[in-house]
Amino acid sequence: MPVPIDPILERLEIRKDPTVERVDAGPRLKSRVAVLPASFNPPTLAHVELLERAKDVPGIATSAALLTTRNVDKGLFGASHGHRVGMLLGLELPATGVLVSNAARIAEQAAALRDVFPGEDFDFVVGYDTLVRLFDRRYYNGEMHEVLATYFRHHRVIAATRGEFDVPAIERYVESTADARTYGDRIVPLNLESELMHVSSTAVRERIVEGVSVDVPPRVHQYIREHKLYEPAP
């Protein structure tokens, strides 16, 4: 039976403290779970590849897409959160859940997951830019070291390649950044297939406006067309 989406989104909007809810009706996720937090505006082939490839990381049993309704760097534009959930649910990937959180930062998302799913273990799949933000003091209120210590005590970071940032680039960043180097054994590089390393939701939206083919799964493409998402205003 489908999970009602609108009440969940309304609850998340009202809540001030970070929390997370599961919106798919699949079986219980088996630990460890590789969580991919993103805006999914829209979900792309690169997102799907990350969710699937993350299951190959040692110790990972299942994966989950985590839609973040609040973003530290962006406002809401493009598809509504309800439509983004609809696109994610349409993927129907095996052993992959769909979660929604009102927490913008990974450390807050991690704390919410520990609170809501106390019996499960989670690692986070991130791109290079998010990896850098994780160790950027500007995104903390003067308590970065404490937050990082708590996070890495419970979770790993699965750092995926993207664009020009390949595995050697990730390793160089970790080695050259003192705070990242401290937790180097908890940061696992994940090599994404080269043809998908450059796929982004921004580029997909631009191509939809131009009326050309897009790098999204067929069911997502169908959903976009049915709901006339990302089309230019008349």
207-229 per-residue burial string, b: 16 or more CB within 10 A, e: under 16:
ebeeeeebbbbeebbebbeeeeb
The DSSP 8-state label assigned to residue 229 in this structure reads T
Q: pLDDT, tens digit, for every residue of 98-132? A: 999 999 999 999 999 999 999 999 999 999 999 99
Q: Give the pLDDT of residue 1.
A: 45
Q: 36: which strand partners?
A: 65
**Among 177-181, 186-190, 219-223, which stretch is predicted with the lowest mean pLDDT?**
219-223
Please state whether the predicted TM-score (pTM) of the whole model is above 0.85.
Answer: yes
The helix/strand/coil state of 33 is strand
Architecture in CATH for domain 5-200: 3-Layer(aba) Sandwich (3.40)
Q: pLDDT, tens digit, for every residue of 39-87? A: 999 999 989 999 999 999 999 999 999 999 987 555 567 899 999 999 9
Does pLDDT of 208 surpass 90? no
Does pLDDT of 153 surpass 80? yes
In the chain, where are the structural domains located? 5-200
The helix/strand/coil state of 125 is strand
* Section 178-201 average pLDDT: 88
Among the listed residues 148, 193, 200, the one whose alpha carbon sits nearest the alpha carbon of residue 167: 193
Q: 124: which strand partners?
A: 35, 157
* Section 16-29 average pLDDT: 93
